[in-house]
Chains A and B, each alone.
Chain A
Amino acid sequence: MNVGSLKRTAQRLLPTGGWYVIAIPYLWLLLFFLIPFLIVLKISFANIALAMPPVEPVFAWTQEQILQIRLHFSNFGFVFGDSLYIEAFLTSVRIAGVSTLLALVLGYPMAYGIARAPSGWRNVLFLLVVLPFFTSFLLRVYAWLGLLGRSGPLNGLLMHLGLIHEPLQLLQTDFAVYVGMVYSYLPFMILPLYSAIEKLDLNLLEAAADLGCRPAQVFFKITLPLTKEGVFAGCLLVFIPAVGEYVIPALLGGPDTLMIGRVVWDEFFANRDWPVASALAIVLLVLLAGLVLLLQRIQAREEAI
């Protein structure tokens, strides 16, 4: 066999360049998502133990060299059985949902403004939206502690205007959590909305006006339906991380703001109950994945019509 045919054989057997490119993200997901997920899944079926790590092994070899698998479903039963967890889930969904809605209402006009700004301005405005990411997320949330504090600038301003006579309790309330959430996740809403609005054909808006639509009608009949994908994408990008958010409710929220991220944290570190914490994480993941699939299904059905 000469060198040429050897090379050809090798080329036939080895994957091509395109395959490698696709393989990189898959490998990444496998290493940093799927494997950790499987570990968490395993722990969620384990029993708690006084050891390090504080779980009994799920897979074990008996003395007869038989693989023994012990699955404890009680963790999930515990999660669904305790109203505390259910409440935490509901609170998380409520706070994330309201935050998403607020981010949409605030983000849409901003994205619209950027997309319709003169092209020279667009990059500047875009940079301003992304600029907060240059600072640590924790630091930015921390800054709100000062801004919303009893002697902070917001209370100062309200007092100065004479609207209130003594400082409002803003921190440790749901209000502070909403402020933190909307502030932190607004860019994730604006970016997909911007790209959807930017693609919109301006002729369509003029055509609608020409056919008798007032500006508000043009928005609801043409602009909004045609930027629906951006709305979906933005809402998911805000809602999903917001549901599991830990830092914002922990720093800005009060003792009543019991969100699921905080419960998972407490189970892991305070209770050292890894199995229940893992079970909570799995339930959250299934809920969110189900939501995404549902939305995709709705979207696909609408396109098919």
Chain B
Amino acid sequence: MSDAYIRLEQLTKRFGEFVAVRQVSLEIAKGEVFCLLGGSGCGKTTLLRMLAGFETPSEGRVWIDGVDVTDVPPYERPVNMMFQSYALFPHMTVAQNVAFGLRQDGLGRAVIADQVRDMLALVQLEGYGKRKPHQLSGGQKQRVALARALVKRPKLLLLDEPLGALDKKLREQTQFELVKLQEKLGVTFVIVTHDQEEAMTLATRIGVMRGGEILQVGTPTDIYEFPNSRFVADFIGSVNMMAGRLSVDEADHARIDCPELGTTVYIDHGVSGPPDSSVSVAIRPEKIQLTTEKPSQKDNVIGGVIAGVAYLGGATRYLVRLPTGFLLKVTEPNVLRHEAHFQKDEAVWLCWHGSAPVVVTR
């Protein structure tokens, strides 16, 4: 037995012929905020529902705090869930909603009233106890749902797209409140989301899912800077993805022939792949620099023509057409207010550092 707080062992869930979750093994430490990130139908919600006990795994076991809970029904698991739709009971007041779980535990009236009051204060909803859910705004409903799920002090809190129904401004604000609350209570969170920004902000670790499998598990930095596959590199953030052939592979550097770029990409570390093998090179748009003068560096320099400009406020995104006809995405931060931007059809030089490209083989 490892000392992991939450442990999934070879978890598989089939719905008839369809395999929703395939052989997922995962360990989550106590107090962690773990994000399951993926597009719709990737199996992330099914995985979450297996943790909650709403779905029984076809194969594999689920352990929480050293106890095998695979066959424990949802009402006996030390786990609570915040639903995407919030699922507040419409026939009960806010206070009754929050008290619901405590009532089930058979606590005394006074104790329940105290805990409900504390919890509502924690989510900044003092004085809202007597309202009905339909009298609340989306953000308030979200906080009631959170309070209701947290009030039982679960060992594990599951959050299904916790901020999905909120507008952008409120979402950013709530993200930080959620993190603060989690740190304060020390409850382990498992969050399901399709929103990579949400995952990056909230998570201590992210598991990227596709087709029922977890492709990569890592910190937000790991996932972004060191993606292990084309899918992960492409799914998180924006990326230029090029096919190439590994021509030089030494201990301290490697070169990849990229027909789409019309040049060889230099990488400042070895990739230890079979020689001459087909690989993909991923370069993030913000890691490419644009200049009018030809840069002095020897490698990773190409010329191009600006094919499109999109001013985003904080940054400007360019599309640069290479002599090969390939379009590269480049993002330049707008550091100065009076910065001169490159114009469409302007000839430019592109360059990047030897550490910028990521080589992925699958």
Contacts and interface: CB of A to CB of B under 8 A. Distances in A.
Interface of B: 52-54, 73-76, 79-81, 83, 85, 87, 89-91, 100-101, 104-105, 148-149, 152
Interface in A181-213: 201, 203-204, 206-213
A226 interface: yes
Given A206-B54, A207-B81, A214 B75 contact: yes
A217 B83 CA distance: 20
B217 to A, nearest CB: 26
B100 A208 contact: yes
Interface of A: 201, 203-204, 206-214, 217, 222, 225-226
A203 B85 contact: yes
Nearest to A203: B87
**Binding site of A, secondary structure by majority: helix, strand, loop or mixed?**
helix
B91 A226 contact: yes
A210 B53 CA distance: 8
Given A212-B75, A213-B104, A207 B89 contact: yes
Given A201-B85, A206-B74, A217-B104, A211 B80 contact: yes
Contacts of B91: 225-226
Nearest to B84: A203
22 contacts: A201-B85, A203-B85, A206-B81, A206-B83, A208-B100, A209-B73, A210-B74, A210-B79, A210-B81, A210-B149, A211-B75, A211-B80, A211-B100, A211-B104, A212-B76, A212-B101, A212-B104, A212-B105, A212-B152, A213-B104, A217-B104, A226-B89
B72 to A, nearest CB: 12
B87 A206 contact: yes
Given A201-B87, A204-B89, 12 more contacts: A203-B85, A204-B87, A206-B52, A207-B89, A209-B53, A211-B80, A211-B104, A212-B76, A212-B104, A217-B104, A222-B89, A226-B90
Nearest to A228: B91
Given A217-B104, A225-B91, A226-B90, A207 B83 contact: yes
A210 B149 CA distance: 9
Contacts of A212: 75-76, 101, 104-105, 152
